Structure 1
Amino acid sequence: MAYQETKTTGYRTRLSNSIRGIGTGFLMLLGGTVLLWWNEGRAVKTTQMLEEAQGVAVHVDDVSNADPSLNGKLIHAIAFTQTKDSLCDATFGIGSVAIKLDRSVQYYQWVEHSKTETKDKIGGSKEEVTTYYYEKEWNGSPVNSQEFSDPDYQNRNFVVMNIEDQSYMAENVTFGAYKLPKDLIRSISGTAPMNLSFSQEQLSDWNRDVKKVFESMAAPTVNNTAAVTDETPAAAKGDSAKVEAVATAETEQIAKQKFDYVHVNGNVLYFGKNPNNPQIGDMSVTFTKVMPGEASVIAVVNGDKLQSYVAKNGKTLSVLTSGAVSMENMFENQHKSNSFMTWILRFIGLFLVVTGFKGIFGILVDLLKVLPFMADIVGLGVGLICKVLGLAWSLLIIAMAWLFYRPVIAGVLLAAIVALIVFLVKKGKDNKKAEVSNV
């Protein structure tokens, strides 16, 4: 049976919250307005930068040797990335010569979900009924079940060790004869699974420590089953020193031992009894790497290094795309990315503006909550008005920004809009005259 909590908020408290909501509404309106204005300027400046860069960029067929004549020029080239850096995850004692090394951790935990239903009552009070339900899920971090609302599900979670995701990146990566900056190294993609190889002793240490945790959590004498181990198993810390000395006879036995709580499958290290039937407390650690490969770059040559292009308006550009991509396609993709980001920020700005208006005018609805049916009717009207006002306000800000940042285009569009309005008004008058004459 689902667990429920009921909360009642009085009429005075609701009005007090609405008054505070007015201030929050103005802040959201201001924030949305600033975002809309800034976004239009960002979009225009980015477009100008891309057009300027595209006009001066040159394609270079071969970058295997540094060419002094290219110094200071914005180039496009296709070559292979290379590195000699060895990356190591000291926690698990694995490493590889790679551009990136990533560790992703997942925990099998009870996760709390909730759904709240609100009901207005005559007199202005509000009743909120929150229903909590719980599901076993893989989660990117341990879930503190002590904070669960349902007492029956509290203290059910535990983990064998608390380890976070980790990413390692090579510092020295070359593109042909040129060294890449960090921002371009981060852009290199194309992950591949990393083959794992652990010694029998290391697996045995993990198995011993993890088994202790699972057995302690299953023991009936344990009161707090949500406890998280304070210490990471010694082998997981990459410590070569052993917590306990292993005799020669034991070492020989380890090689034949079946590890019940540690499983290695490709690039996945699994702590738990059965990877195909996960239980609370199980943990999965996945290792991936990015290897050198073919890439396409647009950047400025500076000696034996590549750096960002700085446009006249101060905007910068340096792009790396995995694989062989032409200069035209790379610039086209940048224009598409700019347009996509512009629309995303416009919708965010519109949402903030509409929400701001709702916060400002929300008190009109709450004043009528003494009669819920009246508040519902007024609420529909206020909601519609806020949406219309929000859209109109957003379009006005965007139009003003266009006038400021793109006066020529904005002038043409404004003239077209005025002409359309005049045409529609004139057509409406003509239709009315025609109706009168027919009568």
Structure 2
Amino acid sequence: MSDQFREVTNVSWFGRIKRAVGGVLVGMLLVVAMVVVLFWNEGRAVTTARSLAEGAGAVVSVPVDKIDAVNEGELVHTTGPLTSSEGVGDPDFAIEAKGVRLVRNVEMFQWVENSKSETNTKLGGGEETITTYSYAKEWQDRPIASAEFKQPANHQNPSMELGSRSFQISEGKLGAFTLDEPMLDRIGDTDPLTITPSQLAGITAAYSGTERVSIIDGRIFIGANPTSPAIGDYRIGYQLVPLGEISVIGRQTGDRFSPYQTVAGDELLMVDTGRVPAEKMFAEAVSVNTIVTWLVRAGCLLLLALGFGLLLAPLGVLADVIPFVGSIVRMGTGLIAFVLALLLGSATIAVAWFWYRPLLAIGIAVAGVLVALLLTRLGRRKVAAAPPQAGATA
């Protein structure tokens, strides 16, 4: 049987109008939601910036090998080697290592459905869509529901019995300080852990299944033929978060660290790999806050444009009675949606600035007015100083 399947669907002009009108409600909800998110994002950015500035001014760097009761409840920074008497391991395959966390990544060879659609508008406003479904065998780290394929016959995937997991130490030591699981969870830099052929015997003994186990390219392969995998075969790789130098900023609570509540509103608890000064950790956090703020702004503006596009979509559908006219109308509504998104998004950000940062916003507004007045006055002086043109003689 072919690994491609074509499906042709037709929607009448009235059906498209009904669908577009339904999209208007979605567009309205999307516009309102993005305005709310934009406003919230400005407040979040201000709160985080103020909290980081407050923390940077209050933090105290302390030695890692001694706990001073004077700093109890204060925001402290320390750096040093992370150690642990525990190891991490995957009992399902007898994999053991020294580190903070062992991450098992499981992939299964499965059928995957891909689709490609081509839509044409017909005279009279109707729409024809030709969708081509194709099927390929790929390694996937999540189960693919083959029963939902358009053509499930001969493309069936078995259930995924093995899954990705992580194994973490319960406690670590940073000099005289103790790091519990919430702190260890924040350490995320991983290195690949290569599985060697010498481990095969132990892996095979620990594995509860009956399939053949091999070591290929530093990973575990479960299946009959590693060079020609079959549907349902597995390959398993590992990554390790190693022990090593780390830096911590948090509230000193006994011999542990907890979130430090700032007056500005945010809680501060930071972990970084390597020996990182407090100033650099705060500078990096400020940069992350700026990046997140702009990413949210950009995402909201795009979704605002999409929302306005849905609001204006019925116009394009109505004009599709003559296809080329509909295309022209959609170009116009797309441009209008983009402009409306910029205007509403900018206005929302401006209002949020006046709400969350009134002094700064007023200062910028006053500066803008002064610049405008100055440019206007300079323009008038240039006009007044310009030599009069010679008049025409009778």
Q: Once the 2 structures are TM-superposed, how far is the Cα of residue 407 of structure 1 from its aligned partner? A: 1.4
* TM-score (structure 1 length as normaliser): 0.80
- Shift of the 435–164 alpha-carbon distance from structure 1 to 2, 3 Å rule, reads farther
Corresponding position: 1:176 with 2:175: yes
One-letter amino acid of the structure 1 residue matched with residue 297 of structure 2: R
Q: Once the 2 structures are TM-superposed, how far is the Cα of residue 168 of structure 1 from its aligned partner? A: 2.0
Corresponding position: 1:137 with 2:146: no
- Shift of the 104–56 alpha-carbon distance from structure 1 to 2, 3 Å rule, reads same
Q: Separation in 1 of the partners of 2:202 and 2:170?
A: 33
**After superposition, where does 1:256-405 map in structure 2 within 5 Å?**
261-265=212-216, 268-405=219-356
Q: Deviations over 1:214-268 (max 9, x none)?
A: xxxxxxxxxxxxxxxxxxxxxxxxxxxxxxxxxxxxxxxxxxxxxxx32125752
Q: Separation in 2 of the partners of 1:118 and 1:53?
A: 56
One-letter amino acid of the structure 1 residue matched with residue 252 of structure 2: V
SS of 1:187's equivalent? coil
Q: Deviations over 1:164-213 (max 9, x none)?
A: 11112222122221122433211223434165665748627969822xxx
Q: 1:99 — aligned with what?
A: 100
Unaligned runs of 5+ in 1: 211-260
- Shift of the 97–425 alpha-carbon distance from structure 1 to 2, 3 Å rule, reads same
One-letter amino acid of the structure 1 residue matched with residue 126 of structure 2: S
One-letter amino acid of the structure 2 residue matched with residue 336 of structure 1: S
Q: 1:127 — aligned with what?
A: 128
Q: Separation in 2 of the partners of 1:423 and 1:312?
A: 41
Q: Separation in 2 of the partners of 1:13 and 1:325?
A: 61
Q: Separation in 1 of the partners of 2:69 and 2:279?
A: 25
Q: Separation in 2 of the partners of 1:162 and 1:29?
A: 43
Judge conservation of contact 1:124–1:371 (CA < 8 Å) in 2. Answer: yes
Q: Once the 2 structures are TM-superposed, how far is the Cα of residue 294 of structure 1 from its aligned partner? A: 0.7
Q: Separation in 1 of the partners of 2:50 and 2:321?
A: 56
Q: 2:66 — aligned with what?
A: 65
Q: 2:25 — aligned with what?
A: 23
Q: 330-339 vs 349-358, which deviates more?
A: 349-358
Judge conservation of contact 1:157–1:281 (CA < 8 Å) in 2. Answer: no
Judge conservation of contact 2:35–2:348 (CA < 8 Å) in 1. Answer: yes
One-letter amino acid of the structure 2 residue matched with residue 375 of structure 1: G
Q: Deviations over 1:37-73 (max 9, x none)?
A: 000000011000010000011112x221322122122
SS of 1:12's equivalent? helix
Q: Separation in 1 of the partners of 2:390 and 2:81?
A: 79
Q: 2:50 — aligned with what?
A: 48
SS of 2:185's equivalent? helix
Judge conservation of contact 1:353–1:390 (CA < 8 Å) in 2. Answer: yes
SS of 1:378's equivalent? helix
Q: 1:11 — aligned with what?
A: 13
Q: Separation in 2 of the partners of 1:174 and 1:195?
A: 28
- Shift of the 17–314 alpha-carbon distance from structure 1 to 2, 3 Å rule, reads same
SS of 1:300's equivalent? strand
Q: Once the 2 structures are TM-superposed, how far is the Cα of residue 86 of structure 1 from its aligned partner? A: 4.1
Judge conservation of contact 2:27–2:309 (CA < 8 Å) in 1. Answer: yes
Q: Separation in 1 of the partners of 2:206 and 2:248?
A: 46
Q: 1:257 — aligned with what?
A: none
Q: Separation in 2 of the partners of 1:340 and 1:312?
A: 23
Q: Separation in 1 of the partners of 2:209 and 2:279?
A: 58
One-letter amino acid of the structure 2 residue matched with residue 191 of structure 1: T
SS of 1:397's equivalent? helix
Judge conservation of contact 2:94–2:202 (CA < 8 Å) in 1. Answer: no
One-letter amino acid of the structure 1 residue matched with residue 171 of structure 2: N
**After superposition, where does 1:215-230 map in structure 2 within 5 Å?**
none
- Shift of the 327–204 alpha-carbon distance from structure 1 to 2, 3 Å rule, reads closer
- Length, aligned pairs only: 386
SS of 1:76's equivalent? strand
One-letter amino acid of the structure 2 residue matched with residue 366 of structure 1: V
Judge conservation of contact 1:107–1:159 (CA < 8 Å) in 2. Answer: no
- Shift of the 125–299 alpha-carbon distance from structure 1 to 2, 3 Å rule, reads same
Q: Separation in 1 of the partners of 2:52 and 2:301?
A: 27
One-letter amino acid of the structure 1 residue matched with residue 164 of structure 2: D
Q: Separation in 1 of the partners of 2:183 and 2:307?
A: 39
**After superposition, where does 1:182-201 map in structure 2 within 5 Å?**
182-192=181-191, 193=193, 195=195, 200=201
Judge conservation of contact 2:200–2:215 (CA < 8 Å) in 1. Answer: no
One-letter amino acid of the structure 2 residue matched with residue 38 of structure 1: W
Q: Once the 2 structures are TM-superposed, how far is the Cα of residue 160 of structure 1 from its aligned partner? A: 8.4
Judge conservation of contact 1:160–1:282 (CA < 8 Å) in 2. Answer: no
Judge conservation of contact 1:194–1:289 (CA < 8 Å) in 2. Answer: no
Q: 2:161 — aligned with what?
A: 162
One-letter amino acid of the structure 2 residue matched with residue 131 of structure 1: T
Q: Once the 2 structures are TM-superposed, how far is the Cα of residue 21 of structure 1 from its aligned partner? A: 1.0
Q: 95-104 vs 361-370, which deviates more?
A: 95-104
Q: Once the 2 structures are TM-superposed, how far is the Cα of residue 432 of structure 1 from its aligned partner? A: 8.8
- Shift of the 131–431 alpha-carbon distance from structure 1 to 2, 3 Å rule, reads farther
